[in-house]
Structure 1
Amino acid sequence: MTSKSQQWQTFKRLLSYLKPYKLLTFFALLLLLMTTIVKNVIPLVASNFIDHFLANLNQTAMLILVGYYGLYLLQTLLQYLGNLLFAKVSFSIVRDIRRDAFANMEKLGMSYFDQTPAGAIVSRITNDTEAISEMFSGILANFVSAIFIFVVTFYTMLGLNHGLTFLVSMLLPCIFILVTLYRKLSEPVISKTRSLLSDINSKLSESIEGISIIQAFRQEERLRQEFSDINQEHMTYANRSMALDSLFLRPAMSLLKLLAYALLMLYFGLSWQESGVTAGLIYAFIQYVNRLFDPLIEVTQNFSTLQTSMVAAGRVFALIDRKDYEPSQSASGPIITQGDIEFKDVSFSYDGKNQILDKVSFRVKKGETIAFVGSTGSGKSSIINVLMRFYDFQSGQVLIDGRDIRTYDQATLRQTIGLVLQDPFLYHGTIKSNIKMYQDLTDEDVKASAKFVDADQFIQKLPKGYDDPVTERGSTFSTGQRQLLAFARTVASQPKILILDEATANIDSETEQTVQKSLEKMRQGRTTIAIAHRLSTIQDANCIYVLNKGKIIEQGSHQELLALEGTYHRMYQLQAGMMDN
């Protein structure tokens, strides 16, 4: 639960987003003030009509009636325009906040995404920003309007009759006590409700992404129960929030308003002859009590939404304020010309406690291919993460063309290194857009890249060819086809360094021949680092490194490692035996 000071800081920060829209906000506030003035003039006109013209409906009386209803129309028009401007400001602010949150998320290091469920991030940038929109579009306008109405109405009431104003004022402390008590009780409930909604999004996202595994292992019932438990708890807290709203909002406020009516009628009944209080004045005061209490009731009703918005805004700002960015690079640096890579005693840990790489050293020159093999958790992928600068290493040196990897700017580094993963990721769009990846490439460049990796054959058979749609993650294509498209994407960027992270692990034997042929062409003239599960795919590597618990325990060519009759020899025999069976 956030403290009052934290909420105040969050609120001030939200208001800072109004700066680019100061003029628009000014006109919106001006319209609200004009609406308030018109609202307060209407009861004065009605009071004057009751006291002076009700018994004598002459031409003047009819003009006053026309003016009376004309004021209502003017009030409606001003209120509509004011709300329209506030909505425009609101949507602009939410767009800006959502843009800032997304921009900062893109800069965060992989450690953040390792620890944070995708559904929780989506909830921050969609649901939470939408809650902020509700605050600006409705609540802020209501709050400002309530302040205008309260000040103008109270001043008008004082000008009409001090005694009646004092009677009504006696109830104001009760209103503030109710608001304070409601805020204290509702804040933890609202915060918990919002947190559970994020949990629902996370569980839903996780279940959708892993639906094939869930069905394969017959875990539908377990996941259904887990989702049901979170959903049930969310409903429980939502009901608690509604119970507080039902008790403290309109019923309690309406009761105070009725009490104000009773005090006014009692005062009129007991002292109208001596005090000179007229029926028109009482009517005006009853209208002003409505003007005074209705905005307060509406504000109090919206208080739960305000609380939700503050909690949501705090969560969004927490994302915007995160500074655990991916490792920093030089703002501008040299160009990578060759692509020679060298690791010198590199040590790395994800959490600063458990060593993943322990003084790893190796070297690979332009045009050479090296491979890393080893059991799961031996550190193979961590070498790639360090080289790609997804994570920073703790000690040692990583050199490219003899220069420290940190001296290259990020754009140069990422453009120079082509990464092909075990599970290629395709984006929603077309074949062409997935190969181009929004680079400045012509259609001929795209087709040439696809032909180079032998992807053009199956692309041409698609109904729309290169303009054929790609669904989420490319689920309509086979694993081999997705991998060939990933190859084409990599080739299109013309990298000097090629990283293959078990690129053939999930491909069937028939498709593997096509993929291997494409890989051979891709590797020509490029520095290549391969992580391999199938030892048969790396036999032609210039050097093979065997990793175990973050250390290189064997290195050499395929034949040299077999002659050692060590770990690599056992791995090769095991795989050969499995293939024979």
Structure 2
Amino acid sequence: MQHKDQVLTKQEQRAVLWRLLRYAKKHTKSLIVAFTLLLLATAAELLGPILLKIFIDDYLTPRHFPLEPLVWLGVIYIVLHLSSVFINYFQAFMFQKISLKIVQQLRVDVFSNVERQGLAFFDKTPAGGLISRITNDTESIKEFYLTVLANFVQNIMFLIGICIAMFYLNPTLGFFCLILLPIIFGLMQLYRKISSKFYADMSEKLSQLNAKMNETIQGMAIVQMFRQERRLRKEFSDVNEEHLEAGMKSMKLDGLLLRPMVDLISILALILILSYFGVMSFTSPVEIGVLYAFVNYLDRFFEPVNQMMMRLSLFQQAIVSAGRVFKLMDYENYAPAKKGQESPKIEEGAIEFKDISFSYDGETDVLKNISFSVKKGETVALVGHTGSGKSSIINVLMRFYQLDRGDIVIDGESIHHFDNTELRDNMGLVLQDPFLYTGTISSNIRLYRNQLTDQDIKGAAEFVRANEFIEKLPHSYNAKVTERGSTLSSGQRQLLSFARTIVTNPKILILDEATANVDTETEEAIQDALKKMQKGRTTIAIAHRLSTIKEADQIIVLHKGEIVERGNHTELLEQKGLYHKMYLLQRGSSELADVNH
């Protein structure tokens, strides 16, 4: 997925707008009520100048002041004004309520689609950019519904009402005012065309800022260790400066094409209308009430235009942001799913790799013709230098990525035939760096799997000996866990990940160097937990420390994506190949000589 966003064409912007409007379809009934209230409020506001025109021409100018008609005229004017205030409040509240619900649904939709993506998507997409789209961009869309759309609808209806009222007062001048509409529309189109590039640039720079912040905060220990603060501050400052420049360009454009231009057009229109009445006064009497009403309507005509022009910047930002969000929502690099109608179950957990080849980018194979099998209760260890393909084997087994060639068979059934739920429920994955969520000890083991009881949680912790440190914590299983479990030791975090894995009693256990970052204090507990977890289960373990896999039933040695050696610990040492060299480097030549002797 490309991080850089292209400027949307006119057709693409129109498509984005219609797609945004379609989100309002679910709220049709509420919108009808809101529009009805809006019509009533608009009508109440527009009748005011006509009542004043009647008062001026029918009563004030001829100096005729009958009490009862004037009282009724005043009462109607006040009632219309108060009605307009109350109705506007309720219609604005309804529009805002509908807007918030729409944005809420939009955020859920985009987040749901992100969750469905395969790991290949996240390999190529910066986390900060994703966060920016789900938060900042949807916030801009919220402004579209809350501020722009309701305002545009209200003001367009108001303009239509003003035009009708003007035609009622004087058809000639009413027609003249209609000529103003295409001029104003052309100004809006010019603004949108120029500003779209600036706002696209601003959104992209904001995504880069978020990505830079996310990367820096996640790696703060390394940043401080290698004294990279100045470099990262400079990089952040440069992107921030580019964001500022794009913002300044949009501000200059706003200052030129928004209110100043509309004010200029309104002044010219006022001069023409006054000139028209001035010329007419030479041949026929001018009704002061009509003149007052026309000037009043002209002022009211340009106020909604000004409001819409001032919100065009928000509108353009929302269209750009919506284009980015919809692009994310339309991305379909989904995680692999089952094929066919079969729904097999994993009973034993026996695994067989059949001539597997795999590539992340579609060009370079990271796995080449991999074949091996693991029976229930057996442990197969994968060893090899960095980049040899160990983690890739785990990735295709977990079906995080789609297989290119070959097949993986579990209990005699192709992996393609299993539901993801069946695979995930029966595979336990323990990573080298366990991930803990903000919450409690208990919630990190349960992971919101509500079918698990408190006794299940405690039983799993006792099984892996995690209870030994949990019960010493304040509040025990309800002890708070900070982000990523930073207040716990690496060994404690690993024991919690063991408990999280074993609580569902998986039939297949996958260990990705589960003891690499363990402190000495808890290593004994972890080794004991591993032995208990592996008993009776199919286990595939990635190992860097060869001493931890001596008892594996089979050790597979990988090099550049291929299997170069296989056998148990003793057999591989006797072959004196790559495994022998790796063991020599780790244990030292004198110890190896003693073992062989």
User: RMSD in angstroms over aligned alpha carbons?
Assistant: 1.7
Given the alignment of the two structures, is residue 360 of structure 1 paired with residue 373 of structure 2, yes or no? Answer: no
Give, as a single letter, the amino acid of the residue that structure 2 aligns with 1:119: G
Offset, 1:135 = 1.0
Once residues 475 and 45 of structure 2 are traced to their aligned partners in structure 1, the CA distance between those partners, rounded to angstroms, is: 62
| Helix, strand or coil at the partner of 1:493 | coil
Given the alignment of the two structures, is residue 400 of structure 1 paired with residue 402 of structure 2, yes or no? Answer: no
Give, as a single letter, the amino acid of the residue that structure 2 aligns with 1:407: H
Which whole-Å deviations, capped at 9, do the CAs of 1:529-557 have from their partners, x for residues lacking one? 00011111111111111100001111111
Which of 285, 290, 303 in structure 2 is aligned with 1:281?
290
CA contact (8 A) 2:38 2:91 kept: yes
Which whole-Å deviations, capped at 9, do the CAs of 1:373-427 have from their partners, x for residues lacking one? 1111000000000000001121112111121111111100111100000110111
Once residues 342 and 253 of structure 2 are traced to their aligned partners in structure 1, the CA distance between those partners, rounded to angstroms, is: 57
| Helix, strand or coil at the partner of 1:356 | strand
Give, as a single letter, the amino acid of the residue that structure 2 aligns with 1:409: D
Q: Hey, what does 1:320 align to over in structure 2?
A: 329
CA gap of 1:400–1:101, structure 2 versus 1, over 3 A, is: same
Offset, 1:259 = 1.9
Give, as a single letter, the amino acid of the residue that structure 2 aligns with 1:39: E
Which of 462, 468, 484 in structure 1 is aligned with 2:479?
468
Offset, 1:175 = 1.8
Given the alignment of the two structures, is residue 569 of structure 1 paired with residue 560 of structure 2, yes or no? Answer: no
Q: Hey, what does 1:128 align to over in structure 2?
A: 137
Give, as a single letter, the amino acid of the residue that structure 2 aligns with 1:110: L
Q: Hey, what does 2:47 align to over in structure 1?
A: 41
Given the alignment of the two structures, is residue 82 of structure 1 paired with residue 91 of structure 2, yes or no? Answer: yes
CA contact (8 A) 1:332 1:409 kept: no
Once residues 95 and 590 of structure 2 are traced to their aligned partners in structure 1, the CA distance between those partners, rounded to angstroms, is: 69
Which of 8, 15, 20 in structure 2 is aligned with 1:9?
15
CA gap of 1:212–1:332, structure 2 versus 1, over 3 A, is: farther
Single out whichever of 143-152 and 196-205 deviates more from structure 2. 143-152
CA gap of 1:81–1:512, structure 2 versus 1, over 3 A, is: same
Give, as a single letter, the amino acid of the residue that structure 1 aligns with 2:11: S
Which of 497, 513, 524 in structure 2 is aligned with 1:486?
497
Q: Hey, what does 2:256 align to over in structure 1?
A: 247
Which of 177, 180, 185 in structure 1 is aligned with 2:194?
185
Single out whichever of 170-179 and 424-433 deviates more from structure 2. 170-179
| Matches for 1:178-577 after TM superposition, within 5 Å | 178-272=187-281, 274-330=283-339, 333-439=343-449, 440-577=451-588
Once residues 102 and 183 of structure 1 are traced to their aligned partners in structure 2, the CA distance between those partners, rounded to angstroms, is: 29
Once residues 205 and 35 of structure 2 are traced to their aligned partners in structure 1, the CA distance between those partners, rounded to angstroms, is: 36
Given the alignment of the two structures, is residue 96 of structure 1 paired with residue 105 of structure 2, yes or no? Answer: yes
Offset, 1:193 = 0.9
CA gap of 1:544–1:75, structure 2 versus 1, over 3 A, is: same
CA gap of 1:15–1:166, structure 2 versus 1, over 3 A, is: closer
Q: Hey, what does 2:4 align to over in structure 1?
A: none
Which whole-Å deviations, capped at 9, do the CAs of 1:35-88 have from their partners, x for residues lacking one? 211111011012122223345565343443343233222111111111111111
Q: Hey, what does 1:140 align to over in structure 2?
A: 149
Give, as a single letter, the amino acid of the residue that structure 1 aligns with 2:172: G
CA gap of 1:541–1:325, structure 2 versus 1, over 3 A, is: same
Aligned length: 580
**Consecutive unaligned residues in structure 1, runs of 5 or more:** none
| Helix, strand or coil at the partner of 2:588 | helix
CA contact (8 A) 2:163 2:178 kept: no
CA contact (8 A) 1:120 1:201 kept: yes
Once residues 253 and 155 of structure 1 are traced to their aligned partners in structure 2, the CA distance between those partners, rounded to angstroms, is: 21
**Consecutive unaligned residues in structure 2, runs of 5 or more:** 1-6, 592-597
Once residues 258 and 564 of structure 1 are traced to their aligned partners in structure 2, the CA distance between those partners, rounded to angstroms, is: 95
Once residues 401 and 294 of structure 2 are traced to their aligned partners in structure 1, the CA distance between those partners, rounded to angstroms, is: 69
CA contact (8 A) 1:272 1:278 kept: no
Given the alignment of the two structures, is residue 29 of structure 1 paired with residue 29 of structure 2, yes or no? Answer: no
Once residues 91 and 305 of structure 1 are traced to their aligned partners in structure 2, the CA distance between those partners, rounded to angstroms, is: 16
Query: Percent same amino acid at aligned positions?
Result: 49
CA gap of 1:169–1:461, structure 2 versus 1, over 3 A, is: same
Give, as a single letter, the amino acid of the residue that structure 1 aligns with 2:158: I
Once residues 551 and 39 of structure 2 are traced to their aligned partners in structure 1, the CA distance between those partners, rounded to angstroms, is: 80
| Helix, strand or coil at the partner of 2:104 | helix
Offset, 1:459 = 0.8
CA contact (8 A) 1:83 1:137 kept: no
Which whole-Å deviations, capped at 9, do the CAs of 1:314-342 have from their partners, x for residues lacking one? 11111111111111214651111101011
| TM-score normalised per structure 2 | 0.94
CA contact (8 A) 2:163 2:177 kept: no
Offset, 1:167 = 4.0
Which of 103, 106, 114 in structure 2 is aligned with 1:105?
114
Once residues 400 and 125 of structure 1 are traced to their aligned partners in structure 2, the CA distance between those partners, rounded to angstroms, is: 38
| Helix, strand or coil at the partner of 2:386 | coil
Offset, 1:173 = 3.7
Give, as a single letter, the amino acid of the residue that structure 1 aligns with 2:20: L
